[in-house]
Structure 1
């Protein structure tokens, strides 16, 4: 139980029990510490240590050395990304490939560690969380360009509140038509992925090795986003 985010408690604090918060820690702390470690920020890794949460301290890392020892693969991929950023010889598409590899690696670790957090949510919200995390696996192969504006346009079509029992996409009355459609599509993707035993993701990765296929997918996605914005 926590008062985090409730009127009765500190409305600005972030609960360590939050699945979203825990995953976002891994998607922000690890890349930040890897950036420090790579030298790209010009500060010593000895000068950066994050404060631990009030509980479950072993589920997190707090400085460069502890993150390297606890999550070597994810830190390695983030370091590879920053080395290519520093080299100035990589194309934008190549940088995106390294960025997504690191992002997916961090997410994979976090999803495994915080699977038990899903019990704190309604079935509908937990299903959405699983579907969203899975969708990231499908966004990575086409090297979706995560520019600020494009990411904002994409994420504003996600649910604007926690899903509760009784929410059934595409029939959620306080969601827009497009938000309902996005939620329905994410749930459908999760079902397809589950019933094909990851075959759909394998085929998708193979398809996205084609530059033409990647470009076509991104153009279609861009068209869909602009049509509803």
Structure 2
């Protein structure tokens, strides 16, 4: 059993450096171009009384997150100052990591979309990361509009479709509800509880992760054809990352600003190329090598056991006390030793 859990221990250890870090300025933790991204609807184009957002331009997609964080800030004040404990921070921070690591660029290299030599702010429709992230932006954003939190009606906002593959993407509240009804219901349930004054932090985490995993489940195989554009190490990492979300969701990892920022330091800082083999990637840190190796091990064990490992994980993490104890245990390891296999 400990052999099964040890890879997860190595991954989750890095999460707790957040509790040890002393950041003097929370704005230092914001994702790339956060300040330059739109922070209110009026900063987007208006046509026929509708706000038109192009989610295939990095600052415009990031602006959707920025508005979402601003509009929900008042509901998270009870959990801490400066909106740091808003659990929606995980979404824009992940998008920022994808941008910084080059994962939003055109992996086929048929265009200069997303590259420094071309349009760095372009988000490629051929990027597996960008396509899945689209739904972890559009659905929570549009569900928030539908819930009334955003202060506009569902008819007042629409997203521009990508240059190709338009039928794969929903672009407004009504099309997302019809195409992804379960995920939209989960997000609406989350926002309903966000607005309840007595909702606990733990309850909100549960509803957030329910919505998050349901969103990814709804698009699980739609973009599998994009794997052909990536090296084998990167496509394996993509599959491992997708699976790992289910494990993290069971643990109900707190997706606050500081914790996600610290966790992402252990994620691969660039696209993986042929020849990259963790834990021996020379330009990766020790933690980055360990996390990458651990994610791949978890996927292999999950496949080998026929998902038995996930069932065991869910049983072990069934109670709040068990999750709390594991988090404390991992924090203790971080404080007293370096993670090793």
Secondary structure at 2:276 match in 1: coil
Q: 2:143 & 2:334 partners in 1: Cα distance?
A: 32
CA gap of 1:170–1:79, structure 2 versus 1, over 3 A, is same
Q: C-alpha offsets along residues 72-101 of structure 1, whole Å, 9 cap, x if unaligned? A: 000000000000011122111000000000
Alpha-carbon offset, residue 60 of structure 1? 0.6
Alpha-carbon offset, residue 58 of structure 1? 0.8
1:59-78 aligned at under 5 Å gives the runs 59-78=168-187
Q: 2:120 & 2:336 partners in 1: Cα distance?
A: 36
Which residue pairs with 1:98 in the alignment? 207
Alpha-carbon offset, residue 223 of structure 1? 4.7
CA gap of 1:126–1:224, structure 2 versus 1, over 3 A, is farther
Select which of 117, 135, 141 maps to 1:26. 135
TM-score (norm 2): 0.65
Residue 191 in structure 1 maps to residue 297 in structure 2: no
Alpha-carbon offset, residue 225 of structure 1? 6.1
CA gap of 1:212–1:191, structure 2 versus 1, over 3 A, is same
Secondary structure at 2:125 match in 1: coil
Q: Paired residues, what number?
A: 229
Select which of 166, 169, 172 maps to 1:57. 166
Which residue pairs with 1:128 in the alignment? 237
Unaligned runs of 5+ in 1: none
Unaligned runs of 5+ in 2: 1-109
Secondary structure at 1:49 match in 2: strand
Q: 1:138 & 1:119 partners in 2: Cα distance?
A: 26
1:141–1:205: 8 Å Cα contact kept in structure 2? yes
Q: 2:172 & 2:334 partners in 1: Cα distance?
A: 38
Secondary structure at 1:11 match in 2: coil
1:154–1:225: 8 Å Cα contact kept in structure 2? no
Residue 109 in structure 1 maps to residue 231 in structure 2: no
Question: Which region of structure 1 is more displaced relative to structure 2, 2-11 or 184-193?
Answer: 2-11
Alpha-carbon offset, residue 32 of structure 1? 0.4
Alpha-carbon offset, residue 217 of structure 1? 2.1
Q: 2:197 & 2:122 partners in 1: Cα distance?
A: 39
TM-score (norm 1): 0.95
Q: Which has the higher contact order (CA 8 A, sep 6+)?
A: 2
Residue 205 in structure 1 maps to residue 314 in structure 2: yes
CA gap of 1:180–1:224, structure 2 versus 1, over 3 A, is farther
RMSD: 1.7
